[in-house]
Structure 1
Amino acid sequence: MKRNEFIKISSIASLGLAIFPQFSFNYFSETFTRNQLIGKGNPDIIGDSYTSKLHKSAKEAFQKMKAAAAKENINIEVVSAYRSFQRQKEIFEGKYKKFTAEGLSPEKSLAKIIEYSTIPGTSRHHWGTDIDIIDANAPRPANVLMPEHFHGSGPFCKLKMWLNDNAEKFDFFEVYTDNGNRKGFKYEPWHFSYAPVSVPMLTAYKEQIDMKKMLSEEKILGNEHFSEAFVSKYVSENIFDINPLLK
């Protein structure tokens, strides 16, 4: 599906909602449960490790994209794919403990964490649609997921140029773009999402998940410091201020 085709389909779906308001987006897709949306179980996830677990449709599309890139001597390696709620909770709470132990206030610790890391229950990686990728054929720096590695003379610039030209042919779109007007998470040239599944999941997430309530129910460390203003800003900027083609 090319970009114009994807936009056309999304537009048709939106038009259908306008004309037939009794239909939800699920008329055009499957229904998603709360647990699927927050990373606590999804029967459509296949694979056996954090680098191979993906939604079955995303995995099939990724394999085709990987095969196409291989013809250009690019070996797309997934360094992070599906991430469960529990795993994201461990990452988040580990950083929260570290930053508060170093003397940062809970509020400043939260602000620092969400520069790059998501709050448990809000990660796109929970859906099995999103991947962080590098080129395994290139020299591997100590910290692979740095924007400078994907541009200029960086080891993954060839991969990034190939993705710019080809990723959308396989329905993968960059999530956190290098757009100066975009807020929320910082630029991630390695993070791509499989739109045919992630778009309806984002819609379902917006309709079903009360984030503040969810954080309280799941007893996330530091949740008492998630003010109404913080949650509202996080939802608006970190969850929804993304590539427009993924909304």
Structure 2
Amino acid sequence: MPINNSHLYGLDEQHLVDYLGHQLEANTAVAFASLQQAALADEIDLQICSGFRNFDRQMLIWNAKATGKRAVLDNNSKPLNIEKLTSKELIDAILIWSAIPGLSRHHWGTDIDVFDGNMINKQNLQLVSEEYALGGPCFKLSQWLDGNAQKYGFYRPFQLGLSGVSPEAWHLSYFPIAEAYLRDFDINAVSDILKSSTVKLREPILAQIDKLTAEYVYRVAPIPKS
């Protein structure tokens, strides 16, 4: 059956434009350019580490973790021994930091991971909480985003106690578009996509797809009020 809104699941790139080597949703790119210039005026080099990721790219990340080819980290960013985990436990562990293919906000082009290029380069960046906390290279950026991101339509969807995904100080979402995309997300469509995919742990994922979608797609921090 044809898939509606395939751009929501990383299968369509027609809504994207190139912005300095990263693919972003068109409105998101315009807004981010303004946010970036504002940061520069305050001597912060706001750079994108990761923007749009298609379904296949997300599947590579997921499958590498599910098969032990890539480290699976706990809430404290420490490696786990996945050999001792059941399928359900392994899914839960991977989901601490990585989305199931088809369920990632990075498919939308509205969500980006950012860092301060004045303080750390992309090669050394690990995207762990310590880098954005007091004493970390991106602490100044994180504090600046607290006071300025919303002015340009951005916010952090993954916040402590407000989201299924662990807090990610580096993850920004352009909420004027992302909010509409979230409303259009269709669990039946993504289930059909997963059924015909080669995603590892596919069957145990599908067995609890309602719960996983509720926790890791729909449960995010509320859109900030102006």
TM-score (norm 2): 0.84
Deviation at 1:102, TM superposition (A): 3.7
- Counting only pairs closer than 5 Å after superposition, residues 212-223 of structure 1 correspond to structure 2 as 212-223=191-202
**Paired amino acid for 2:64:** G
Deviation at 1:213, TM superposition (A): 3.4
CA shift in 2, pair 1:217/1:92, >3 Å: same
Q: For 1:41 and 1:161, how far apart are their aligned partners in 2?
A: 34
**Paired amino acid for 2:205:** F
Q: Choose which of 9, 24, 49 in structure 2 pairs with 1:54.
A: 24
Deviations 1:142-186 (A, max 9, x none): 4431112112121111101110000011000111013x3x35110
Q: For 1:94 and 1:112, how far apart are their aligned partners in 2?
A: 13
**Paired amino acid for 1:83:** R
Q: For 2:26 and 2:163, how far apart are their aligned partners in 1?
A: 31
Q: Choose which of 150, 156, 170 in structure 2 pairs with 1:174.
A: 156
Q: Which residue in 2 is equivalent to 1:224?
A: 203
Q: Choose which of 197, 209, 214 in structure 2 pairs with 1:236.
A: 214
Q: For 1:189 and 1:167, how far apart are their aligned partners in 2?
A: 12
**Paired amino acid for 1:34:** N
Q: For 2:43 and 2:171, how far apart are their aligned partners in 1?
A: 20
Deviation at 1:226, TM superposition (A): 2.1
**Paired amino acid for 1:160:** S
Q: Which residue in 1 is equivalent to 2:137?
A: 155
Does the 8 Å contact 1:212/1:226 carry over to 2? no
Q: Which moved more, 1:214-223 or 1:125-134?
A: 214-223
User: Does 2:213 match 1:205?
Assistant: no
Q: For 1:236 and 1:78, how far apart are their aligned partners in 2?
A: 28
Q: For 1:129 and 1:83, how far apart are their aligned partners in 2?
A: 11
- Counting only pairs closer than 5 Å after superposition, residues 59-98 of structure 1 correspond to structure 2 as 59-98=29-68
User: Does 2:112 match 1:131?
Assistant: yes
CA shift in 2, pair 1:77/1:183, >3 Å: closer
**Paired amino acid for 2:23:** K
Q: CA RMSD in A?
A: 2.3
CA shift in 2, pair 1:101/1:183, >3 Å: closer
Note the residue ranges of structure 2 that are not aligned, 5 or more in a row.
73-80
Does the 8 Å contact 1:69/1:75 carry over to 2? yes
> Percent identity, aligned pairs only?
29
How many residue pairs match? The answer is 210
Q: Which residue in 2 is equivalent to 1:24?
A: none
Q: Which moved more, 1:115-124 or 1:33-42?
A: 33-42
Structure that is richer in helix per residue: 1
Q: Which residue in 1 is equivalent to 2:165?
A: 185
Note the residue ranges of structure 1 that are not aligned, 5 or more in a row.
1-31
Q: For 2:6 and 2:24, how far apart are their aligned partners in 1?
A: 16
Q: Which moved more, 1:124-133 or 1:97-106?
A: 97-106
| Structure 1 runs of 4+ with >6 Å offset | none
CA shift in 2, pair 1:96/1:209, >3 Å: same
SS in 1 for 2:172: strand
